[in-house]
Copies of this chain bind each other. A is one copy, B any other.
Amino acid sequence: MIDRFLMKLRARDEIGPEEEQALRDAISDVRDVPADQVVIRAGQEMTVCTLLLDGLMCRYKDLAGGQRQISELHVAGDFADLHSFTLKRLDHNILALTPCRIALAPHERIAEITERLPHLTRMLWFSTNLDAAIHREWELSLGRRTALARVAHLFCELQIRLGIVGLADETGYELKLTQTDMAECLGLTSVHVNRTLKELREGGLVEFRNWRVTILDQRGLEQAAEFNPDYLYLDQQPR
């Protein structure tokens, strides 16, 4: 059940059986969420964390003009809001982009982990720092990359993140994301995302059709994106 989260952690450091059990025991509940539901609203008081078991979620903020910025996508195996454990409320909303299955981990149980298991605590801390690293890379995309590079970069990032939890291979992956959603990740309009996808397709780099990303030329795609996976911290390290 928490297997994908374990895969994610074990891509970065060893997790012992006692730690694994503590994580399993941290889950109080599992439930399903329909697509397009706002799961957590900014400002609301938080007492549990949400582990995404299946589906796609995002963190987003709105401006008064109705414009929206997605600050991160969450795939299966991600905690959508582990940072709520220390923040106590969030500065952004969390939305289910597809039907999702989630597991709930009450803050008290995570607090117990911090009292008893320092290494696992550091791994949970690491996990929130990884989200921050993704935020930084997106800041670079939003501030400096061209539309083409932004789209290409997102595809590269998701290939790796989904690959870690067994949901992508070198040929591609399923991605239930509309072009409007993508635009809200990338600081673009859906019209321009559409044109950019066409350019990537005609350039023989990637194809995105029928909710599937097909990598046509991985090397070329990564070059177009100036993609460097270091920010995903895939090296096995004692943390």
Contacts and interface: CB of A to CB of B under 8 A. Distances in A.
Interface string A108-150: 0001001100100111011011111101111110111100000
Given A42-B230, A118-B115, A125-B86, A139 B138 contact: yes
A68 B233 CA distance: 21
Contacts of A135: 71, 132, 135-136, 139
Nearest to A149: B63
Interface in A133-187: 133, 135-140, 142-145, 186-187
A85 B121 CA distance: 12
A188 to B, nearest CB: 8
A64 interface: yes
Contact of A132 (B111, B128, B142): B128
Interface residues of A, number: 51
Given A88-B237, A142-B187, A143-B69, A83 B136 contact: no
Interface in A29-87: 42-43, 59, 61, 63-64, 67-69, 71-72, 83, 85-87
A114 B129 CA distance: 16
Interface residue SS majority, chain A: helix
Nearest to A131: B132
B144 A63 contact: yes
Given A86-B125, A114-B121, A144-B187, A91 B139 contact: no
Contacts of A63: 140, 144-145, 226
A8 to B, nearest CB: 14
Given A61-B140, A125-B128, 16 more contacts: A43-B230, A63-B145, A63-B226, A72-B136, A85-B122, A87-B130, A87-B133, A87-B233, A91-B133, A91-B136, A111-B118, A114-B122, A115-B118, A128-B129, A139-B139, A143-B186
30 contacts: A43-B230, A61-B137, A63-B144, A64-B226, A68-B144, A69-B143, A71-B135, A71-B136, A83-B133, A85-B122, A86-B126, A87-B126, A87-B129, A87-B133, A87-B239, A91-B136, A91-B230, A91-B231, A91-B233, A114-B118, A114-B121, A121-B121, A132-B132, A132-B135, A135-B136, A139-B139, A142-B142, A143-B186, A143-B187, A144-B187
